[in-house]
Amino acid sequence: MLLRLTPELGGDGTEYGIIAMNDTGSDILSLFTTDIPNLGNNAGYLGWHGPVAIIDANGSITLFQRILVQVQLVRDDNTPWSDWIDETAIVRQPSPNVIRLSGAEIREVLYFGTAPGNHLLAVSSTKGGLTSLL
């Protein structure tokens, strides 16, 4: 997917490609501190918000900085597959044991489904389109 700072909040339009795991248990997109410099000039960006408490799978609570961004799904050749989607993200330190997780807003715009065996992820912009893929 492509990631950018929201232009209406002062983002300069710089796009940065990331991979995030689609996790239906994740309410917020995960970004790393190393992603932020790749998003262009963020001085004066109005999309920064205060910290949020995140509870992980083992019950630990950690505070992370929040930022409003936009994401866009792309095809294998990096051409756009979806419109830009507003998404709230947390910014955390990178770690070998931590992966980027998708946020909730992308699941409000697109339909996701897995085939038996969970070896294939289908994504569609319509419910009928999803059933035809599975």
Domains belonging to the chain, first-starting first, are 2-107 (2.40.70.10)
- Asked if 78 and 1 touch (Cβ cutoff 8 Å), the reply is no
Q: Residue 109 belongs to what H/E stretch?
A: helix 105-109
pLDDT of residue 23: 67
Please give the pLDDT value at position 62.
Answer: 92
pLDDT value of position 87 = 94
Residue 124: per-residue pLDDT: 63
CB 27 within 8 A of CB 104: yes
Question: What integer pLDDT is reported at residue 43 of this predicted model?
Answer: 86
Q: Which residues of the chain have pLDDT under 50?
A: none
Q: What is the DSSP string of 18-39?
A: ---B--TT--SEEEETTTGGGG
pTM of the predicted model as reported, rounded to 2 decimal places: 0.80
